[in-house]
Amino acid sequence: MNSQPRLKILMALYHLGERVNPYIARLEREGFEVVRNPVGRCLTEDELVRILPGVFATIAGVEPYTERVFRAAPDLRIVARYGVGYDAVDVAAATRRGVAVAMAFGTNHEAVADSALTLMAAVVGNVVRHHVRVSRGEWRMDIHPGLWRATVGIVGLGRVGKAVARRCRGFEMRILAYDAVPDVAFARENGITFVPLETLLREADVVTLHAPHTPETENLINRERLALMKATAYLVNTARGGLVDETALYEALASGRLAGAGLDVFKNEPPTASPLLGLDNVVLSPHCAGSNTTSEAAVANRCIDSILARARGTGPEPTLLLNPEVLSAA
């Protein structure tokens, strides 16, 4: 590879700051030219169209990879997604253009599960509300429910959902789950009961979302389904903002129809105009659930491994690809 012209890589991520330097250095040692995100935020479609000509690979965030983007990037051969969500990638368009879409499966699910439990404990325990009061000189508490032996409803029992379930067992929680393709063996081994989504929503004290965002799951938690939840229940979302009708969620929270929510993801990010920002029964974080020091290194290196394999013509491993058929077409 070193005897040929240097292949260009776009590091589309902007939020890692200087922490990205070791990964850039690794690519440079392998002979790549690395181009950083030039705008310091998520790239738009128009910006990708301008930047991608001549680029062999991207380490991708949540910027949009559309038919138009792929059409403008004739040299692009791999989009290595920094994470496991791919709702911003038109996989069919990528496949038509011979672009492999590689995922970082198996690298950050434990971090997301940690964050889901953190948000769960924070919103159920009134942590932020109590913090604000004490910092203002108020010495007043609200009695709140506990997590121990509460009923949790896990929507999506994939890698993250399973990791959350293992943690919930430590709280001796009753665990309900809904999944389109239920893993019956795992549920049996871990004391999990599969139920219809409507049953889960009616019975859970905390509902935590771990489903992918697809056209079928858009607004999965809508006004009608929120109405099924107990007024004392909480909603946690560390998956994708598109799973939740945010207007309906705001109405439920503002009216007291729902006790609270912990949200790491939003339909529009950052959610600068969202009325959810003004509620005191909501705990918010900036789409960071999958990011800790361990997962960051694992995800970044998985992306680089996939890019190297594509450049060498040896992969990536098909189980990491959304469209492995592009390897045989290369």
Residues tagged active-site: 240, 269, 287
Alpha carbon 89 to chain centroid, angstroms: 14
Do 263 and 246 meet the contact criterion of CB atoms below 8 Å apart?
Answer: no
- State how beta strands 78-81 and 260-263 pair: unpaired
Rounded to 10 degrees, what is the CA torsion of 39, 43, 49, 54?
70
Query: What is the Cβ-side half-sphere exposure of residue 51, based on CA atoms within 13 angstroms?
Result: 21
Do 56 and 78 meet the contact criterion of CB atoms below 8 Å apart?
Answer: yes
The Cα 256–Cα 276 span in angstroms is 13
Cβ of 76: how many Cβ atoms within 10 Å? Answer: 25
Cβ of 243: how many Cβ atoms within 10 Å? Answer: 23
Token pair for residue 105? Answer: 């499966």
Cβ of 240: how many Cβ atoms within 10 Å? Answer: 25
The Cα 238–Cα 163 span in angstroms is 13
Helix axes 127-135, 109-124, angle to 10 degrees: 60
Site of tokens 């949009």: 64
User: In b/e form, how buried is each residue of 122-139, taking b as 16+ CB within 10 angstroms?
Assistant: bbbbbebbeeebeeeeee
Give the bridge partners for 101, in sequence order: 79
